[in-house]
Amino acid sequence: MRSLMEHRGIRCDKFISEVIAGKVDVKDRKIGAVLESLKAGDTLIVSEVRRISRSLTAVLTTI
């Protein structure tokens, strides 16, 4: 992910990696804190949408 961003000239202020086993609520994960800290104009890039949640309903609720 980092090399792709560098190749495309995308600046990254913070890179967070998280490994989750099983079903853990978004608010109880690192991504929950990141989502809470986002301000207007911020951009969040995830490697895959399913990294946010495994169910479409949860993804749509989160974003």
Total domains in the fold of the chain: 1
Is pTM beyond 0.75 here? no
- Domain span at residue 52 reads 2-62
Q: Are 46 and 52 in contact (CB under 8 A)?
A: yes
**Tokens 């099983």 -> residue:** 22
Query: Which three-class secondary structure string do you get for the chain?
Result: CHHHHHHHCCCCCCCCCCCCCCCCCHHHCHHHHHHHHCCCCCCCCCCCHHHCCCCHHHHHHHC
How does pLDDT run across 4-56, given as a tens digit for each residue? 888 999 888 888 888 876 677 777 888 888 888 989 998 888 877 776 777 78
**Tokens 């989160």 -> residue:** 62
